Chain A
Amino acid sequence: MSDSDMVGRPAAPGASTGGARGGVASKTAPEAPISSTAPGKGGPSTKKTPPAEPTPAAKVVTRPGDKIFKTLTVGSGVFVVAMIVLIGVFLLIQAIPSLVDNDANFLFSRVWDAEPPDLAFGVLDLLLVTVFSSVFALLIAMPVSLGIALFLTQYAPRRLARPFAYLVDLLAAVPSIIYGLWGAYVLAPALAPISTWLNENLGWIPLFATGSSNLAIGQTIFTAGIVLAVMLLPIITAISREVFDRTPSMQIEGALALGATKWEVVRTTVLPFGKAGYISASMLGLGRALGETIAVLIILSSTNQNFGFSLFDGGDTIASKIARAAQEFNDPRGAGAYIAAGLVLFILTFVVNAFARSIIAGHKEYE
């Protein structure tokens, strides 16, 4: 802004001295003041050299309101960045001493012994359970959210769509401890017959193999994943719904005029238009699932066995492992082991979210 001001303002004296612009300036003399009042239109005036003496009008007036507001907004922006950096630095500082003392390979070991003095901990098992349960939740939540979002934007009558959307948004407001309780005491036993059937009939698939958790009680990744999926629904639905709603109506009419049915309109215009938003919404949901703590903590049974890639395993995610141990942190090096695991989670969610953002940014051209 200030650059173009500097360029634009001196145009008025430039017109009076004439020389720099040559014949054009003298012929179009009445136009010169007009171009000087429109500082944005650099065009021809940027080429000529501004006269040496600065005009008094060139001084930019800054009012106190602008100054305060600018300071506030810049401050807020810097604050957020500083917070993230500080959290990362905190995690690093706390984790490094324990990592140095670690007798096991942190990234590839599946044991977890964070009892000083002999630290031997690896994050692999926790990481696998975290990613596995979150991806499982995402696989359930994605199609259902897509269905809800399309129903709300394309199929539901307007009178119904509004309260229904509100209801879905309310799901996001339910505290995760409530989801955890519901999952552990209502859903888990209710799923027992289904998981038993899956285990008996499809047990040859590793996914449904007998795991470390008792199916009758149902404290499995299967249960946790379904609860996580319910928690993801409102996040993915809300963003997808907004993206689908913004499909340009002239696109929709173009498809209709070609003789497209409702579904074909959705397929040719709404879905391509909203694809990027939907995928990034799902990634944001995944970020949420990766970090979900209390619901997983309540639902999953602890185990000493290694994670075997079965939905009927118990185990711990990174977040639930930390939460389980947090009350007993009495030694900084023991705590450091958990904080190192937290650092992995931090980086993981960071990467997932960055990936989601990059998808949104890459598809701007269609909006």
Chain B
Amino acid sequence: MAKRIDVKDLNLYYGKFHAVDSVSLAVPPHSVTAFIGPSGCGKSTVLRSLNRMHEVIPGARAEGKVLLDGEDVYASSVDPVSVRRTIGMVFQRPNPFPTMSIRDNVVAGLKLAGERDKRKLDRVAEEALRGANLWAEVKDRLNRPGGGLSGGQQQRLCIARAIAVRPDVLLMDEPCSALDPISTLAIEDLIGELKKDYTIVIVTHNMQQAARVSDQTAFFNLAGVGQPGRLVEVDDTERIFSNPGQKATEDYISGRFG
């Protein structure tokens, strides 16, 4: 079930490079939080640190705390693999496993978790595909490769794959940036439905999208060239887009910023 996330004094590094400086923010359950900001400001890095995907890059490391309902996912006793099973992720470009069928793609996570019961897998596959609004389009070709779908369908397949394991949190890293407007709309509608069951954090370059789908918005910015990225402010989306607390935020959302 949806859980809350509390980030406390999170510092992120790539080798010696200090990428993100001391981020603290809270994400309530059953909400959509959007991360916005210019390229290279560390918003994707912060997102990836929430399910410990940051550290799979050689040399990358994190300092600080990410609490999932009060439990630190960076505690020494926590296995990153189990963190990723409870915090799902959808990437910028759709990445279904090309050698697997549509059905096998959806249940890949469950199979990794050791589920072998074929009937249960079939049921979960249908549920997840329905949850991702893809069932009607693929129900007749579940055994065909996932790579044969359109880009928007592939992305929804990836969302189905992520929610099939019933995670507590769903992270989305610019999920619509490789999609056309119609597919984008389909995904945005889906995000609105998914927040009933999940806590969602989404990185987006599209400010209208942030305004449309999110309940709260976090604005990230660079302190300067070569400086670490930092969280400028986080607030209700309505406030950020109408009456932000910081001048930098206002400049960015009104387009007065590079």
Interface residue B151 (Cβ < 8 Å from any Cβ of A): no
**CB-CB < 8 A to B100: which residues of A?**
268, 272
Interface residue B165 (Cβ < 8 Å from any Cβ of A): yes
Which of these, A251, A257, A365, contacts B97 with CB under 8 Å?
A251
In this complex, the member of B56, B89, B95 whose beta carbon has the largest number of chain A beta carbons within 10 angstroms is: B95
Interface residue B43 (Cβ < 8 Å from any Cβ of A): no
A256 to B108, CA, bound (A): 11
A255 to B161, CA, bound (A): 10
Which of these, A256, A268, A273, A366, contacts B56 with CB under 8 Å?
A256
B110 to chain A, nearest CB (A): 9
A250 to B173, CA, bound (A): 12
B99 touches A259 (CB 8 A): no
**CB-CB < 8 A to B96: which residues of A?**
254
Kindly list the 5 A-B residue pairs having the minimum CB-CB distance in the complex, ordered from nearest: A259-B85, A272-B99, A257-B89, A258-B109, A254-B95
Interface residue A280 (Cβ < 8 Å from any Cβ of B): no
B165 touches A250 (CB 8 A): no
**CB-CB < 8 A to A248: which residues of B?**
95
B165 touches A258 (CB 8 A): yes
A365 to B99, CA, bound (A): 10
B66-110 residues at the A interface, CB under 8 angstroms:
81-82, 84-85, 88-89, 91, 93, 95-100, 108-109
In this complex, the member of A158, A258, A272, A273 whose beta carbon has the largest number of chain B beta carbons within 10 angstroms is: A258
B84 touches A259 (CB 8 A): yes
In this complex, the member of B82, B96, B109, B165 whose beta carbon has the largest number of chain A beta carbons within 10 angstroms is: B109
Interface residue B51 (Cβ < 8 Å from any Cβ of A): yes
Closest Cβ neighbor of A251 among chain B residues: B95
**CB-CB < 8 A to B109: which residues of A?**
258-259
A257 touches B51 (CB 8 A): yes
Interface residue B40 (Cβ < 8 Å from any Cβ of A): no
Interface residue A264 (Cβ < 8 Å from any Cβ of B): yes
A224-261 residues at the B interface, CB under 8 angstroms:
248, 250-251, 253-261
Interface residue B158 (Cβ < 8 Å from any Cβ of A): yes
Interface residue A269 (Cβ < 8 Å from any Cβ of B): yes
**CB-CB < 8 A to B165: which residues of A?**
258-259
B interface, CB within 8 angstroms of A: 51, 53, 56, 58, 81-82, 84-85, 88-89, 91, 93, 95-100, 108-109, 112-113, 147, 158, 161-162, 165
**CB-CB < 8 A to A259: which residues of B?**
81-82, 84-85, 109, 112-113, 165
Which of these, B56, B147, B161, contacts A258 with CB under 8 Å?
B161
**CB-CB < 8 A to B84: which residues of A?**
256-259
A186 to chain B, nearest CB (A): 40
29 A–B contacts, CB within 8 A, in A order: A158-B58, A248-B95, A250-B95, A251-B98, A253-B95, A254-B91, A254-B97, A255-B97, A256-B56, A256-B84, A257-B88, A257-B91, A257-B162, A258-B84, A258-B88, A258-B108, A258-B109, A258-B161, A258-B165, A259-B109, A259-B165, A260-B112, A261-B81, A264-B112, A268-B100, A272-B97, A272-B98, A365-B98, A366-B99
Closest Cβ neighbor of A267 among chain B residues: B112
**CB-CB < 8 A to B89: which residues of A?**
257
A250 touches B93 (CB 8 A): yes
Supposing A250-B95, A254-B158, A257-B84 touch, asked if A268 and B108 sit within 8 A by C-beta, the answer is yes
**CB-CB < 8 A to B99: which residues of A?**
272-273, 366
**CB-CB < 8 A to B113: which residues of A?**
259
A245 to chain B, nearest CB (A): 14
6 new A-B pairs (CB below 8 Å) besides A253-B91, A254-B95, A258-B109? Answer: A253-B56, A255-B97, A258-B108, A260-B112, A273-B99, A365-B98
Residues 257-294 of A, flagged 1 when their CB comes within 8 A of B and 0 if not, give 11111001000110011000000000000000000000
A152 to chain B, nearest CB (A): 15
A226 to chain B, nearest CB (A): 34
A253 to B90, CA, bound (A): 10
A260 to B96, CA, bound (A): 14
Closest Cβ neighbor of B88 among chain A residues: A257
**CB-CB < 8 A to A268: which residues of B?**
97, 100, 108, 112
B108 to chain A, nearest CB (A): 6
B81 touches A260 (CB 8 A): yes
In this complex, the member of B58, B112, B158, B162 whose beta carbon has the largest number of chain A beta carbons within 10 angstroms is: B112
B227 to chain A, nearest CB (A): 27
A360 to B162, CA, bound (A): 32
Supposing A251-B97, A268-B108, A366-B99 touch, asked if A258 and B91 sit within 8 A by C-beta, the answer is no
A314 to chain B, nearest CB (A): 44
Which of these, B88, B93, B147, contacts A365 with CB under 8 Å?
B147
**CB-CB < 8 A to B51: which residues of A?**
257
Closest Cβ neighbor of A260 among chain B residues: B112
A366 touches B85 (CB 8 A): no
A253 to B44, CA, bound (A): 14
A366 to chain B, nearest CB (A): 5
Which of these, B53, B81, B85, B88, contacts A253 with CB under 8 Å?
B53
**CB-CB < 8 A to B81: which residues of A?**
259-261
**CB-CB < 8 A to B91: which residues of A?**
250, 253-254, 257
A1-40 residues at the B interface, CB under 8 angstroms:
none
B58 touches A258 (CB 8 A): no
